[in-house]
Amino acid sequence: MSETISLIVALKGCENIEAEGKIIRIGNGANTNTVRSLAAEKLGLAIPLNDIILETSTGVELTEIEMVRLQQVVYIHFHQQIKEVPGPVRLPMVGNLYEMMPDLTAGWAKQFATYGNIASVNVLGTEMVATNDPAIAEIFVKESEYFTKKITNTLKEIKDFAGNGLFTSDSDADEWKLAHKILMPAFSPRAIKAYQPEMGIIAQETMKVLSEYTPEDKVEILDWCTNLTFETIGRIGFGYSFDLMDRNKPSHPFINAMGFALSNSVVRFSRPAFMKQLPMEFNRSWERGNNLMRSIVDQVIVERKNSEFAKDSEKDLLGFMLNARDEQNLGLSDENIRDQVITFLIAGHDTTANTLAWVLYELSRNPDIQAKVLQEVANAGISSDELPTVEQIASLKYLSRVLKEALRCHSPLRLLSKYCKKDCIVPGGYRVKAGTASVVSIYNMHMNPDVYENPTKFDPERWTPEEEQKRSLYAWLPFSTGPRACIGMAFALQEAKTVLSMFLHRFEFKYDGPDVVYDPYQPTTKPLNMFMNIHPRTNFPEPSENIIYQKSEEPEEKISMPVLDRKVSTVGAIDLPKVTFLFGTQTGSAQDYASQMSSQAKRFGFKDVSLLPMDEWEVVKTGKYQKPADTKESQHELVVICTATYNGLPPDSAEDFNKFLETSIQNDNEDLLNGINYAVFGLGNKNWRTYQAFPYKVDTSLDTLGAHRFFSPGVGDADADMDGDFNQWCAYFWTHVLGKYGVAASASKSVIPTATLSAEDTDLSTAKVKFISPSESEKWKSAMDNKNGEYNSTLLVNRELQKEGSDRSTRHIEIDISQLESASSVEGHLYEAGDHIEIMPENNPEEAERIALGFGLVLDSVFEVDAESIDDLSPRSMAASIKGPCTVRNALIYYADLMSPPSRRMLSFFASQLHATAPETAKKFDSLTMPDERNQDQYPEFIKKHRTLLDLQLAFPQVSRIDLGQFLAAVGVMQPRRYSIASSPLTFPKHAHISVGVVDDIVGDKHYPGLASSYLMRLRNSARLRAHLKSSKSTFSMPADITKPLIMVAAGTGVAPFRGFLQERAFQKKNGQEVGPCILFFGCRNPEKDYIYSDELEEYTKSGVLVTKHIAFSRKNPPTSQKYVQHALLAHAGEVWSLLFNNNGTNGAVYICGSGAMSRDVCSTFQVMSKSFGVAQNDEEADNFLQKLMEEKCFFQDVWG
């Protein structure tokens, strides 16, 4: 039994253990990562834990915690030697000033070229290190115990006029913390939407001025971009016009003063401190300019304070600054508001103006790219004559890529200046000392050829989701990132897209001079001497497809619910229509959502409310819709549909609905559903290429059949925060509905489903339970047997597939399925290769006991839930799922979902129950149901800290005060897990094999085993299981023509279905049938560890069933060039192509199985191949090519995770 011990950690090579070694203590649950993170903390290693190696004094690697426990001293080693950051020799006094000035960026570029990705210099006594490497940049920009933003160097000069504004305050300054908290909501998506019309108006005013130029005039376009962005922040931020849209007026004195201050901040930085005090003209102008800026801003503030809008916090940014308070009722001081206004006037215009000018320049040099932008603008229906809407701007995806690329090539801020608080070692093994200015040289990183291939090329294709995914998140930092990131990013991008789309519709901007460079004397990246000719545009294209944007049915203001407004206060005449909630579900989420909405509808006073599976809808069953007698649109039936999708197809409970839509559309029944108002919420997962395919089909088909889209469709992504997406959509939906029918909401009848639960109506969130006395022996017996389904199958084999020495586990499991219902339509088959088996997991009994102990539940008591008390509960709650008598033990082992993160719904249940007994905790939980008034969502951070119900209970023991009924209502029911069948029915008609990757997440020093995979791992031979066979419904089935070549691509346990495919082909071959060739691309880490089924694959190769196999090892030492399957595919593209388009006339089929990320990369590789082999000329055609292969049943994907 291990216990808490102390040991010393020291860097390898350290000569004086007493002085340099640090003591750490490790407890029972520690593992090697615990030791790594403690060592990192004590020794100041700001590097990823994986890079840290633990060793003995003789250099033996310590891979197991038990080995570590035997040491007195553990030596820390990483692949790189620890070294000082290299840099040039310093001159006395000035250091490296002459090498670095006037253009710090060029200076750093020289240092990187000489010393590598990190270098150090000294400028006038200030030590600086800088990097152009995303891995080091990541460490610098994350606010941490090692690095922070502290105002030094050039920023210190800017602070002279921007004072304690956001941009120029230290992260630990109270002013920054307060202002950051108070001002964030002014940049929420909702706020940005409200700014949209004004942005369009100012663009139109600017175009009016630009149209006064003749095509021959050389125009310094940056000036007009600057006027435009300045006017925009002035008006939108502070309701103050600088009156800049006039060619004949001199520029505003504020702009002149600010321009002087900004450009001279760099110059001042390079001067010794004493020079800044001398009575020279330069210093006097500096002072004069700064005073002028302050006095203009004071005037703006006074005007506002004396105006009728003085108390209106919603009016604009200034309104916010003057009136907003934090939870302690603290607001910004007058002096701080002045600093903030100056900050926003500067930060809010200069960078955006530069970006606009650079985009116009790049578009003029890249006509192909410009043509694509124009086409997109045309397809969005945007013109310079009308103000574009938020939806139109949001549809400009390609323009977003162009902007990203412009921000890469011409990042307006060329460096981010951070500060090292504590000595540490950064990636690469470099020692950075406390007090060093630590710079991310954004410009040089964006131009680093190791990060961006051919970096000087302007190429928006770098920003497709697939390409982006390949790079570090820290490789693109024009807006910085983390808490000190740009607060105005969304504002800037919205403004830039609005302006560019309108400008490009009206004008053609032409530049025909030499390449433009940036002005090194300016602190932001401004094009130097860029004069353009402005021509009226004559070649604006026609839309190439139906205008993708459709105007919302209702004007934007109608959906004006602030995200956090939990109440709607209208009261009015109630004449409410019938409402039908339909759900299409397989695992219950869609049903849960529909049921939450139907409970809400009843609370709002809707009388005629029904809740049904989609297939049970009367209209689907009869194929007819009885049109309403009442012709008033407001009295038409409201139908709300929540549906999931599986492989792009309808879920089981919506198959008839799907057929109904298809037949009705085929029959041209265009007014069949006239008289219905409808809204759709789709559930999906972005890992699938067919994201939201079926909900989308439902939404558009209902429209085609004459129903009226009453509210815009909502989408939830199960890979992210689906409950959050739903809560938000629902809040908007109800605000719209209630506004329309004049219904009042209240705290207990909130528009947010989960918020309702936490209001005073606590009865609704409780299940009534009756305890059964042991004397009722029948009921006791059935309680003991109540195990959430029938044990219908038997485990026959459970063996390890990973090789000895691997620290992970993958189990090969064989199950006797002879008693299961068949999932195959082939006579005599229980399943087909490519089908799935669904397994019901069980909680570890010890976990169940811990929960019982925590919540004070008696494991062997027997209870029954009162069926009538669950009407208002989620169908996914334990209470709604446990039928008949059950023991508490069985409820906890077989029903309770104990391992998932506490859901928002669960937290709001707890809140509702704790209002009286633990109001503080209730308030905390309440605030987690959805983003707060400042649009900040605390839920994601909360569940990182409290991963499971047990974690929650340990951190908030108050939750244990709830009783069993409340517990059953709050906690969700566990969901079955699917596994691809790894066998063929021809070889194993009565057995299904599966390959299970065992999940074991380690957070800190705690292990979180996967629910189903750890359960399966624990099972011994002959154990009984609850399972169901699930057809893949021909979305992943082998071709009927057995001569068809198969190209199989898998990573990890994704190889499972292919084991079934190969068994099937081997069986057919052995029987003398002629089978098509098969090739396999398989990705794993290391041949010695996780190359699962290697012997079998070798056998298939020998017997010729498998023609070739290409295995990509991602962690082989030495590394191979084919790291991942997509690399192997590209390397063998010729072979793949010749099988896919076979000369013999039998084309092949591609099958991809494994994680979503792998599948996306493989699809992109096929797109690349299609372009290389000439069947597609561009990305769009490549995408269509894949789509066509899928439709022709030649391209299949089965993805998870």
Ligand X SMILES: Cc1cc2nc3c(=O)[nH]c(=O)nc-3n(C[C@H](O)[C@H](O)[C@H](O)COP(=O)(O)O)c2cc1C
At residue 626, the 3 state secondary structure works out as: coil
Look at residues 234, 218, 216 and name the one whose alpha carbon lies nearest to residue 226.
Answer: 234
Minimum separation from the CB atom of position 768 to ligand X (A): 27
Structure tokens, 588: 């219950």
Separation between Cα atoms, residue 1052 and residue 1050, nearest integer Å: 7
CA distances (Å), 18 to each of 15, 73, 316, in order?
9, 11, 60
Q: Does 999 bind ligand FAD (CB under 6 A)?
A: yes
Which span (26-34, 271-279, 863-871, 1009-1017) binds ligand FAD, by CB under 6 A? 1009-1017
Which span (131-139, 281-289, 357-365, 997-1005) binds ligand FAD, by CB under 6 A? 997-1005
Give the residues lining the site for ligand HEM (CB under 6 A): 149, 166-167, 180, 233, 343-344, 347-348, 351-352, 355, 412-413, 416, 478-480, 484, 486-488, 491-492
CA distances (Å), 1002 to each of 34, 123, 698, in order?
10, 44, 41
Helix (H) or strand (E) holding 361: helix 350-365
Q: Does 948 bind ligand FAD (CB under 6 A)?
A: yes
Minimum separation from the CB atom of position 344 to ligand HEM (A): 5
Which of 68, 683, 1048, 1111 binds ligand X (CB under 6 A)? It is 683
- Give how far the C-alpha of residue 214 lies from the chain's centroid of Cα atoms, to the nearest Å: 47
Strand partners, 84: 431
At residue 930, the 3 state secondary structure works out as: coil
Give me the 1036-1075 binding string for ligand FAD, x by CB under 6 A, dash otherwise.
-----------------x--x-------------------
Residue 549: phi, psi to the nearest 5?
-85, 135
Residue 1056 interacts, among ligand X, ligand FAD, ligand HEM, none and using kind-specific CB cut-offs from 5 to 8 Å, with: ligand FAD
Q: Does 650 bind ligand X (CB under 6 A)?
A: no
Residue 388 interacts, among ligand FAD, ligand X, ligand HEM, none and using kind-specific CB cut-offs from 5 to 8 Å, with: none
Structure tokens, 840: 């019901």
Strand partners, 797: 814
Minimum separation from the CB atom of position 1185 to ligand HEM (A): 36
Helix (H) or strand (E) holding 879: helix 878-881
DSSP string, 1169-1187: HHHHTTS-SSHHHHHHHHH
Q: Does 684 bind ligand X (CB under 6 A)?
A: yes
Which span (199-207, 386-394, 543-551, 991-999) binds ligand FAD, by CB under 6 A? 991-999
Residue 683 interacts, among ligand HEM, ligand FAD, ligand X, none and using kind-specific CB cut-offs from 5 to 8 Å, with: ligand X
Q: Does 1056 bind ligand X (CB under 6 A)?
A: no
Q: Does 586 bind ligand X (CB under 6 A)?
A: yes
CB-nearer residue toward ligand FAD: 165 or 1010? 1010
Residue at 319: amino acid letter: G
Residue 412 interacts, among ligand FAD, ligand X, ligand HEM, none and using kind-specific CB cut-offs from 5 to 8 Å, with: ligand HEM
What DSSP designation does 144 have?
Answer: S
Q: b/e string for 707-746 if b means 16 or more Cβ within 10 A?
A: bbbbbbbbbbbbeebbbbbbbbbbbbbbbbbbbbbebebe
Q: Does 589 bind ligand X (CB under 6 A)?
A: yes
Q: Where would I find the beta strands (DSSP E) of 537-590?
A: 579-584
Which of 337, 369, 403, 1011 binds ligand FAD (CB under 6 A)? It is 1011
Burial zone of 692 (CB within 10 Å; 0-12 exposed, 13-18 middle, 19+ buried): buried
Minimum separation from the CB atom of position 810 to ligand HEM (A): 44
Q: Where would I find the beta strands (DSSP E) of 134-288?
A: 147-148, 219-220
- 3-state SS record for 69-87: HCCCEEEEEECCCCEECCC
Site for ligand FAD in 842-901 (CB under 6 A): 899-901
Q: Does 95 bind ligand FAD (CB under 6 A)?
A: no
DSSP string, 1137-1151: HHHHT-TTS---EEE
Residue 899 interacts, among ligand X, ligand FAD, ligand HEM, none and using kind-specific CB cut-offs from 5 to 8 Å, with: ligand FAD
At residue 741, the 3 state secondary structure works out as: helix
Q: Does 1010 bind ligand FAD (CB under 6 A)?
A: yes
Q: Kindly give the pairing relationship between strand 862-865 and strand 886-887.
A: antiparallel
Look at residues 445, 414, 384, 350 and name the one whose alpha carbon lies nearest to residue 132.
Answer: 445
Q: Are 1042 and 990 in contact (CB under 8 A)?
A: no
Which of 648, 724, 931, 1083 binds ligand X (CB under 6 A)? It is 648
* Count of residues that bind ligand FAD according to CB under 6 A: 25
Residue 875 interacts, among ligand FAD, ligand X, ligand HEM, none and using kind-specific CB cut-offs from 5 to 8 Å, with: none
Residue 1053 interacts, among ligand X, ligand FAD, ligand HEM, none and using kind-specific CB cut-offs from 5 to 8 Å, with: ligand FAD
Site for ligand FAD in 802-841 (CB under 6 A): 836, 841
Angle at 852 between CA 849 and CA 854, to 5 degrees: 110
Residue 1091 interacts, among ligand FAD, ligand X, ligand HEM, none and using kind-specific CB cut-offs from 5 to 8 Å, with: none
Helix (H) or strand (E) holding 862: strand 862-865
Residue 8 interacts, among ligand HEM, ligand FAD, ligand X, none and using kind-specific CB cut-offs from 5 to 8 Å, with: none
Look at residues 358, 62, 1156, 1188 and name the one whose alpha carbon lies nearest to residue 717.
Answer: 1156
Which span (393-401, 409-417, 425-433, 647-655) binds ligand X, by CB under 6 A? 647-655
Structure tokens, 627: 């049109």
Q: Does 719 bind ligand FAD (CB under 6 A)?
A: no
Strand partners, 978: 838
Minimum separation from the CB atom of position 359 to ligand X (A): 33
Which residue's beta carbon is nearest to the bound ligand X? 684
What DSSP designation does 892 have?
Answer: I
Q: Does 1200 bind ligand FAD (CB under 6 A)?
A: yes
Does the N-terminal peptide bond of residue 1057 adopt cis geometry, omega within 30 degrees of 0? no
CB-nearer residue toward ligand HEM: 496 or 661? 496
Strand partners, 1048: 1080, 1151
Which span (479-487, 784-792, 813-821, 990-998) binds ligand FAD, by CB under 6 A? 990-998
Minimum separation from the CB atom of position 817 to ligand X (A): 19
Which of 585, 766, 793, 913 binds ligand X (CB under 6 A)? It is 585
Q: Does 134 bind ligand FAD (CB under 6 A)?
A: no
Alpha helices in 742-869 (DSSP H): 753-757, 777-785, 845-855
Q: Does 947 bind ligand FAD (CB under 6 A)?
A: yes
Look at residues 593, 583, 675, 601 and name the one whose alpha carbon lies nearest to residue 633.
Answer: 675
Which span (448-456, 525-533, 677-685, 801-809) binds ligand X, by CB under 6 A? 677-685
Q: Are 436 and 412 in contact (CB under 8 A)?
A: no
Site for ligand X in 590-629 (CB under 6 A): 590
Q: b/e string for 1109-1122 if b means 16 or more Cβ within 10 A?
A: bbbbbbebeeeeeb
CB-nearer residue toward ligand X: 39 or 1158? 1158
Q: Does 718 bind ligand X (CB under 6 A)?
A: yes
Minimum separation from the CB atom of position 80 to ligand X (A): 42
Q: Does 354 bind ligand X (CB under 6 A)?
A: no
CB-nearer residue toward ligand HEM: 440 or 820? 440
Which span (76-84, 934-942, 977-985, 1141-1149) binds ligand FAD, by CB under 6 A? 977-985
Minimum separation from the CB atom of position 557 to ligand HEM (A): 23
Does the N-terminal peptide bond of residue 976 adopt cis geometry, omega within 30 degrees of 0? no
The residues binding ligand X (CB under 6 A) are 585-590, 644-648, 651, 683-685, 688, 690-693, 718, 978
Which residues are at the interface with ligand FAD (CB under 6 A)? 836, 841, 899-901, 947-948, 977-980, 994-997, 999, 1001, 1010-1013, 1053, 1056, 1198, 1200
